[in-house]
Structure 1
Amino acid sequence: MKKILVMNGPNLNMLGIREKGVYGVKTLDEINDFICGQAEGLDVELEFFQSNHEGALIDKLHDAYGRKDGVILNAGAYTHYSYAIRDAISSISIPCVEVHLSDIHAREEFRHVSVIADVCIAQICGKGEQGYIEALKILLEEKQ
C-alpha cells in the first residue's frame, strides 16, 4: 500500500470563499472528500495537511521522509518564490507532484514561474480538483 501525503499551502483553507471564479466553489474539505472518494478501492493511504505557514509545510515535508511514498503539493503562492520549500522537496527524495487548481501560466506573470517545478516529477495546472486525481495516479504508477 502506498502512503501519499496531500499538502495544501497558504490561503487554500479559504477555498469556496475566495475568488470563486478562479478557484471554484468547493471548500478544501470538499476537495479532500472528492480525492478520498476517487481513491476508494485503490491500494493507497492518504494523509491531508494544510498550512498557511512556510515552516509548517517544510516540517511536514521533512516528516514525510521514510514515511511516505509520494507527495501531492499545492504550495499556493509559495510555488513562485519559496526556495526553502524547493530545498525541502529535494532533500527528502520522495516523488512529489505539483498541483494548482487554476492555470498558473494563464494568470498574472509572476505566477508563471514555479521554483519547485524542477524538483517535482510533474506539474498539473488548471484542472481544478481533478488535478489532484491525476497527481495521485502519477504517484501510484511511480516505482518504489
Structure 2
Amino acid sequence: MKIAVIQGPNLNMLGVREKNVYGPMTLEQIHEQMKSSAAQNGIELEFFQSNLEGEIVDKIQECLGEVQGIIINPAAYTHTSIAIRDALAAVALPTVEVHISNIYKREEFRQKSITAASSTGVIAGFGPFGYHMALIALTQICTEIKAIEEAQKNQAK
C-alpha cells in the first residue's frame, strides 16, 4: 500500500513558527515518526510539501493511479482553496485531512474548511500525533476498500 502525505504552506517552518500553537517538532521529525510506523505495517509513504497552491494541485492529480490514499494538511489553503478541494474531488481517493491545531478553537476565519468536503475524514487538534491517527485511519479505509473490491471480483466469477 502506498500513501501520499501532502503538506501545505508554512509547514516547512514547523519547529520554528508559533511553537505555542504547533509545538516544537519539525516537519522532518513528524515524517520520520510516520515512516517508522508505516514501515512496521508494510506501507510506503511519499512526502511532499509546497507553499504554492498550484504545486499542491499538481501533486494531488499525480496521485491518481499511483497511491491508494492521501493524507493532507492543506494548512492555510484549508480555508481558501477551491482548487485543492476540486483536485481532491477529481481524484476521488480516500483522503484524511489533518490539522495540528484545533482549527475550531482558533480565529473565526480558520474554523471553516473548504477542503474537508472532499476528504473522507478530518483530524484536528491532536498535534503531530494527528498524522499517526490519520495513517491508522487511512490504512483501515484502504484495507476495507480492497476487501470490498476483492469480494466483488469473487462474486463476478
AA matched with 1:7:
I
Identical amino acids, percent of aligned pairs? 48
- Give secondary structure in 1 for the equivalent of 2:46: strand
* Structure 2 partner of 1:34: 33
What is the alpha-carbon root mean square deviation over aligned residues?
0.7
Q: How does 1:62-77 map to 2 (within 5 A)?
A: 62-77=61-76
Question: 1:48-84: per-residue Cα shift (whole Å, max 9, x none)?
Answer: 0000000000000000001110000000000001000
Alpha-carbon offset, residue 129 of structure 1:
1.1
- Give secondary structure in 1 for the equivalent of 2:6: strand
Alpha-carbon offset, residue 40 of structure 1:
2.7
* Structure 2 partner of 1:111: 110
TM-score of the pair, normalised by structure 1: 0.97
AA matched with 1:56:
E
TM-score of the pair, normalised by structure 2: 0.89
- Give secondary structure in 2 for the equivalent of 1:40: helix
Distance in 2 separating the partners of 1:23 and 1:66: 33
Distance in 2 separating the partners of 1:64 and 1:15: 25
1:128 and 2:123 correspond:
no
Distance in 2 separating the partners of 1:128 and 1:71: 19
Gaps of 5+ in 2: 147-157
Distance in 1 separating the partners of 2:19 and 2:37: 23
Deviates more, 1:29-38 or 1:58-67: 29-38
Distance in 1 separating the partners of 2:37 and 2:101: 20
Distance in 2 separating the partners of 1:18 and 1:41: 31
Alpha-carbon offset, residue 139 of structure 1:
1.1
Q: How does 1:20-99 map to 2 (within 5 A)?
A: 20-99=19-98
AA matched with 1:112:
Q
AA matched with 1:114:
S
Runs of 4+ in 1 over 3 A off after TM superposition: none
Gaps of 5+ in 1: none
Distance in 1 separating the partners of 2:137 and 2:33: 17
Distance in 2 separating the partners of 1:23 and 1:38: 21
